[in-house]
Amino acid sequence: MPNLVDAWADAALAAHEARGHTRRLTPLSSPQGAVVSVGGRQVVNFSANDSLGLCADGRLAAAVKRGVDTHGVGAGASRLVVGDSEAHQALERALATFERTEAALLFNSGFAANTGLLPVLFGEGDVVFSDALNHASLVDGCRLSKARVVIYPHRDMGALARLLAEVPGRRRGVLTDTVFSMDGDVAPLAELRALCDASGAALVVDEAHATGVLGPRGAGACEAAGVRPDVLMGTLSKALGCVGAYVAGSAALRSWLVHDARPLVFSTALPPALCEAALAALHIVEAEPERRALLWDRVRQLTQGLTALGLPAHGASHIFSVVLGSPERAVLASQRLLERGLLVRPIRPPTVPVGTSRLRVSLSAAHSEAQVAALLDALAAVLPNHSRA
Q: Which residues are catalytic?
A: 181, 209, 238
Instruction: Name the residue type at position 53.
Output: G
Instruction: Name the residue type at position 341.
Output: G
Q: Are 121 and 127 in contact (CB under 8 A)?
A: no
| Residues 6+ positions from 32 with CB-CB distance below 8 Å | 45, 48, 50, 55, 56, 241
| Residues 6+ positions from 247 with CB-CB distance below 8 Å | 104, 105, 107, 113, 117, 231, 232, 233, 253, 254, 257
Q: Are 214 and 285 in contact (CB under 8 A)?
A: no
Measured CA to CA, the distance from residue 315 to residue 311 in angstroms comes to 12
Strands of the chain, DSSP E: 35-38, 41-45, 103-107, 127-131, 148-152, 172-177, 202-206, 231-235, 245-249, 319-325, 342-343, 346-347, 357-362
Measured CA to CA, the distance from residue 176 to residue 135 in angstroms comes to 8
Instruction: Name the residue type at position 80.
Output: L
Measured CA to CA, the distance from residue 261 to residue 254 in angstroms comes to 10
Write phi, then psi, for 317 (nearest 5 degrees).
-155, -170
Cis-peptide, bond into residue 119, ω within 30° of zero:
no
Q: Are 210 and 183 in contact (CB under 8 A)?
A: no
| Residues 6+ positions from 79 with CB-CB distance below 8 Å | 88, 264, 269
Q: Are 285 and 213 in contact (CB under 8 A)?
A: no
Q: Are 214 and 224 in contact (CB under 8 A)?
A: yes
Measured CA to CA, the distance from residue 98 to residue 217 in angstroms comes to 8
| Residues 6+ positions from 251 with CB-CB distance below 8 Å | 102, 103
DSSP 172: E
